[in-house]
Each structure stands twice: as structure tokens, then as C-alpha cells.
Structure 1
Amino acid sequence: MRTATVTRLTRETEITVSVDLDGTGRSTIATGIGFLDHMLEQLSRHSLMDLSVHAKGDIQVDDHHTTEDIGLALGQAVSQALGNRQGIQRYGSALIPMDEALTQVALDLSNRPYLIWKVDFSKERLGDLATEVIKEWFQAFSQTAGVTLHVANHYGENNHHIAESCFKGLARALREAWAIDPRRADAIPSTKGVLDSLGSAPGMIGSPPAP
């Protein structure tokens, strides 16, 4: 069972995230930020990860703290659910068209966090979410999930389509990368023989890694 639950408590946010990497794409999302809810539902649906996110944050200030902290908590939960990452495919990629927009996502579940972000928005907000914090969510997720993550929007005009293609691309790439390789199910996918766990990030209370 590749599952985990993480709670992040700070003076700015209270967040609980639960994941099942081998689910069916069911989700229960309540962040207080409607557009972010929509993006996380897409992430769950297209990765087939069962996902529960409940967040209370200082959205009366702005949406930055809540959005970033959800990325941190979700990444930590994914990392814990992966355990020692034995048997995974490790690499994943997706090229996602959404009407006029086309976005490419490539990633490595290497436990070496790194984000390359080649995405521009022409609007300041999408619903109740500031477009500038979308990058912060991806940065936070890659940091605590231990993902080398490249996201490049090749073209697009509709900002909603651009953002959604980024989250759907991440979902499909994750689904491919954390799938178990039936030919190497008992092996760590590294010549080093180990993909070290990141451990708990500050402010995180999480369940232990799955065996």
C-alpha cells in the first residue's frame, strides 16, 4: 500500500493531505481557493492517485502561503508513499494538448529536487488564484517530493488552458514514473543502489514511509 498522510501546521496554514498512489483518481479537495481545487482534482484524476486535501490558510492576506504550503505537504506525502522508491519506473514524461495550448512535462523521481519552469501567463489571476503562485506550487512540490521536474509550455493563448495543461502533464508523467516496473520490481532504479529518502521537512507531521 503506497499511501501516506501529512499534516502541516504553521501560523499561516493548517493543511492535511492524504495520498494513495495506486488509487483510481478519486479526490476530496477543499483549499479555499477554487481554481487550485480544480487543478488538484485534475492532478488526481489523471495520475490515478487518490487525493484528499483539506486546507485552512490566511487567504484574507493572499493565496501565496496556502498554495505553496499545499505543494509542500503534497510533495512530502508523495515522497513518503514512495518509500525507498524500489521498483518504480523513475522517469516519466507527457506532452499535453489542451485546445490551442501545448505543454510538455518531464520528470525524474530521483530524490534530487530541481525545477525548470518555462511557462508564462498573460493574466494576473485565474479565478481566485494569482498566476504567479502556480510556479511556487510546482517549486514546493518538487522540493519535498524529491522530483527533478521540467515544465515547458510551447505555446498557448488561454491562460486557463496553459495552467491546466501543466497540472495534467504533471499527473501523466507521475503516473508513468511511479508505476512499478514488472521486470525490476525488487530493485532500486539507480546504479548507486539507493534513492535516499528526504525525511520530514520542518513543520511536517507525517505517517512513516510505506514498506
Structure 2
Amino acid sequence: MRTGSITRTTAETDIKVSVNLDGTGVYDVNTGVGFLDHMVEQFSRHSLIDVTLHVKGDLHIDAHHTVEDSAIALGQAIAQALGDKKGITRYGSTYAPMDEALARVALDISGRPILVWKAAFSQPRLGTMDTEMFEHWFQSLSQAAGITLHIECLYGTNNHHIIEGIYKGFARAMAQAIAIDPRKADAIPSTKGMLGG
């Protein structure tokens, strides 16, 4: 089993996260930000990555630190679980329809993190979560996990549908990318012999 576990404690947040890349999509998520919980649960269910994520954050200020730090810790746990990345498919991409909205997500577990984000929202928050924080969540996770990540909302009008389609698309692309290719299960998927750098 490819697993990772991170404990991250700062003056702003106290986080415990664990992942099992070879799971079945079982989740136990409590960040204190309801909409973020919903999205991380969608990620777990549709990627089949088991995720436990518990966060105590300074929500009396706002949700910024909780959202940012949860993404960092989750990304670190994923990177830990991937280890040297031997045998992974490495690339994943998908189109994810969510009612009238359509998201496109493509990624490379390259060790060279970058986020290209092309999505916008017509309202400032969903639940208690500022919509500007979705891009920041993916930026933080991609940096911590070492993922080249391209996310685009091709169209859509309902803000909930737009972001849920993005999270589900990210989940499905991750499921592809972390899968072990049995033809090269003992090899790092790069002509360099390493990923990152």
C-alpha cells in the first residue's frame, strides 16, 4: 500500500492528514469549512484515494489559513505516498461534466509544480468559503505534491457546479496518473531516470 501521513502544526492551524493511494475512496474530512469538506470528499470518492483530513484553524479570522494549509498538508501526504514514483502512469486528463458546466483537467506528476488556472466565479463565496480560495487551494496542493496541473472551466453558469466539476475532474485525472503501469512497475516514468528538476 502506498500511504502518506503528515502532521502540520503552526500558530494558525493544526492539521493531521493521511492518504492511501491504493484505497477505495473512503474519507473522513473535517476542516471546519463545510464547502471545503464537500470538495475534498468528492476528490477522495472519485480518485479512490482514501483521505483522512482533520483541521483546527483560526476560523475566527477567516478561512484562508485553513484552506491553504490543508492543501499543503494534503499535497505533502500525496508526495510522501508516491515515494520515488516508480511505476506510475504519471499523466492524467479528463473532461468532467457537472450539469451545465464542463471542466477540463490535465496533470503530470512531474516533480515540477505549476498551476495553470482558467476558471472564474460570479459570486464571492460558496457557503463560508471565498471562491478566490479555490485557485489558491490547487496552487498550494500542486506545489506541495510536485504536480504540473492545468485546470479550465470550459463553460458553466452555476458556481457550485463549476467548482464541483473541477474537483471531480482533478480526482479522475489523479486516479489515472497514480495508477501503476504493470509493464513498467519497477521503472521511473522518465528518460532522465528521475522526476523533478
* TM bucket normalised to smaller: over 0.9
Q: Name 2:72's counterpart in structure 1.
A: 72
Structure 1 unaligned spans of 5+: 198-211
- 1:89 correspondence with 2:89: yes
CA contact (8 A) 2:15 2:70 kept: yes
TM-score, normalisation: structure 1: 0.92
> How far apart are residue 45 of structure 1 and its match?
0.1
Q: Name 1:201's counterpart in structure 2.
A: none
Q: Distance in 2 between matches of 1:130 and 1:60?
A: 15
Q: Deviations over 1:100-134 (max 9, x none)?
A: 00000000000000000001000101011110011
Q: Name 2:195's counterpart in structure 1.
A: 195
Q: Name 1:207's counterpart in structure 2.
A: none
Q: Distance in 1 between matches of 2:125 and 2:96?
A: 22
Q: Distance in 2 between matches of 1:162 and 1:21?
A: 26
Q: Deviations over 1:168-187 (max 9, x none)?
A: 01100000000000111110
One-letter code aligned to 2:78: V
Q: Name 2:99's counterpart in structure 1.
A: 99
> How far apart are residue 196 of structure 1 and its match?
4.6
**Greater RCO, CA 8 A, separation 6+:** 1
Q: Deviations over 1:19-69 (max 9, x none)?
A: 000000000000000000000000000000000000000111111110000
CA contact (8 A) 1:34 1:127 kept: yes
Q: Distance in 2 between matches of 1:124 and 1:44?
A: 26
CA contact (8 A) 2:26 2:49 kept: yes
Q: Distance in 2 between matches of 1:102 and 1:37?
A: 22
Structure 1: 4+ residue segments shifted above 2 A? none
TM-score, normalisation: structure 2: 0.99
Q: Distance in 2 between matches of 1:159 and 1:150?
A: 19
Q: Distance in 2 between matches of 1:111 and 1:73?
A: 16
Q: Name 1:174's counterpart in structure 2.
A: 174
- RMSD between superposed Cα atoms in Å: 0.9
Q: Distance in 2 between matches of 1:186 and 1:116?
A: 31
Please state whether the residue corresponding to 2:45 is helix, strand or coil. Answer: helix
CA contact (8 A) 1:84 1:196 kept: no
The structure in which a higher percent of residues are helix is 2
Q: Name 2:110's counterpart in structure 1.
A: 110
Correspondence list, 1:1-211, <5 A: 1-196=1-196
CA contact (8 A) 2:4 2:18 kept: yes
> How far apart are residue 86 of structure 1 and its match?
0.2
